[in-house]
Structure 1
Amino acid sequence: ITRVIVVVSPSDMLAQALNFDNDAVTVARVGGLTRASSVQNGLSYAAFTSNDWVLVHDAARPCLLASDVSKLIDTCIENDKGGLLAVRVNDTLKKESNNGTASHTVPRDGLWAAQTPQMFKAFDLIDALEKAGESVTDEASAMEKAGDSPLLVEGTETNIKVTRPTDLWLAEAILDKRNKGLK
């Protein structure tokens, strides 16, 4: 990894104060209204060349392991194909009906929960995001819409996304255990 670009909203007052002592880290105040537009703006800001790879990571996933990043990079480069970290779905999944009841069980065979980072060739990702529009919720979805089949690289279940208040508690517990030398 040669550069890190932290994309933040221009209206995010906390992010305005971000400064890094490392010249390889840049704060780009070009975030958009959606994840897709923020990623597109960040890619434009970065001015990649045609052979560059890009990793897109969601700041809402603070428990990422460096070993998972290395595994993703190695797998994508070895296969010359983009991919994403993901974990197999363990839970039984239910499809909700219109009245708030379970209408049926969704078979979990072959289902994976997507994580970040997601890694693709920069120009391929730029093109896919432009074609996909604002509706995609991750980069792999844009690549799929463009006809690609991203690699699923098994990540770690502790790479959780902080979305709800209890997620923050879980992330704090995970990071606390890691700081104490436990994985």
Structure 2
Amino acid sequence: MPDTAHPLTPKPSQEAGIRCHALLPCAGTGSRAGTDVPKQYQPILGLPMVLHTLVALRAVMRLDRLVVVAAPADDFWSTGYPGVKALRCGGGTRAESVFNGLQALLDEGTDPTDWVLVHDAARCLVTAPMVDALIDACQHDEVGGLLAIPLPDTLKAESGGRVSATVDRAGKWLAQTPQMFRLGALHAALKATAADRFAGVTDEASAMEMAGHRPLLVPGSARNFKITYPDDFALAEAIFRSRA
């Protein structure tokens, strides 16, 4: 029989003993994107960007549920989307939103040994095979890891608007998302920095690094880029059209 479920309804996990939750911090404003609304809600091909992201994650069979961490006054989720749990506990920074979301999951009884895959709402071009590759690589790892790609370009250091040095790119990677860690371990790593307003935490992996862990680097894709600037929307639209 055909699948008549809502396009955002998660499919049941098919791998016993592995529980994975996708968590999307969705409380930012995306000021660099130059949009009239927070960039996660900017339409791409008629659909708000975050919904493209959630549709992609819905195709990952091993994700048990999809959780969005929105700002307290955000009414985008007020009507509800089947299969998406909206938590209105977003903070002033990404790290605070993720921490608050993890705390909410723990407060409702989620097992701290479950995996949580934190993903940028603005990485709407992620695909199920990318996420499956991350889960395959990390599910038996002691720490977990993240999608990333080796730095492809020459890297320059800047001073006063001019090049001050060329930085050796050997061993340098561009971090992407999802980033996959045990819920309890990631919560503890973020909690350790909360008193300092999460200083130095630029992503989940950096929090784990500060806690003494060494996350696994899992090769991602250049197409899994984060929409940040106005031109990125046109590029994302072109890629979606090419897939169709």
With normalisation by structure 1, the TM-score equals 0.91
Match in the other structure for 1:140: 205
Q: Matched residue pairs, number?
A: 175
Distance 1:7 1:18, change over 3 A: farther
1:177 paired with 2:242, answer yes
Shift of 1:12: 2.6
Whole-angstrom distance in 2 between the partners of 1:72 and 1:32 = 27
Distance 1:27 1:68, change over 3 A: same
Whole-angstrom distance in 1 between the partners of 2:185 and 2:122 = 25
Contact 1:160/1:171, CA 8 A, preserved across alignment: no
Shift of 1:44: 1.1
| AA aligned opposite 2:206 | S
Runs of 5+ in structure 1 lacking a partner? Answer: none
Runs of 5+ in structure 2 lacking a partner? Answer: 1-62
Contact 1:10/1:16, CA 8 A, preserved across alignment: no
Contact 2:143/2:213, CA 8 A, preserved across alignment: no
CA deviation map 1:67-95 (0-9, x unaligned):
01001011101334310000111111100
1:59 paired with 2:121, answer yes
Match in the other structure for 1:40: 99
Distance 1:153 1:18, change over 3 A: farther
CA deviation map 1:90-111 (0-9, x unaligned):
11110011x1111001111111
Match in the other structure for 1:87: 149
- Counterparts of 1:18-29 in structure 2 under 5 Å? 19-22=80-83, 25-29=84-88
SS in 1 for 2:169: coil
Q: CA RMSD in A?
A: 1.3
Whole-angstrom distance in 2 between the partners of 1:164 and 1:18 = 29
Shift of 1:18: 5.2
Whole-angstrom distance in 2 between the partners of 1:35 and 1:117 = 14
Moved more, 132-141 or 59-68: 132-141
1:11 paired with 2:73, answer yes
Whole-angstrom distance in 2 between the partners of 1:172 and 1:10 = 30
CA deviation map 1:116-167 (0-9, x unaligned):
1000011110010111332211000000001101000001110010110011
Match in the other structure for 1:73: 135
Moved more, 167-176 or 109-118: 167-176
Whole-angstrom distance in 2 between the partners of 1:17 and 1:170 = 30
| AA aligned opposite 1:101 | R
Whole-angstrom distance in 2 between the partners of 1:127 and 1:43 = 10
Shift of 1:11: 2.5
| AA aligned opposite 1:138 | D
Whole-angstrom distance in 2 between the partners of 1:54 and 1:18 = 25
Whole-angstrom distance in 1 between the partners of 2:143 and 2:95 = 21
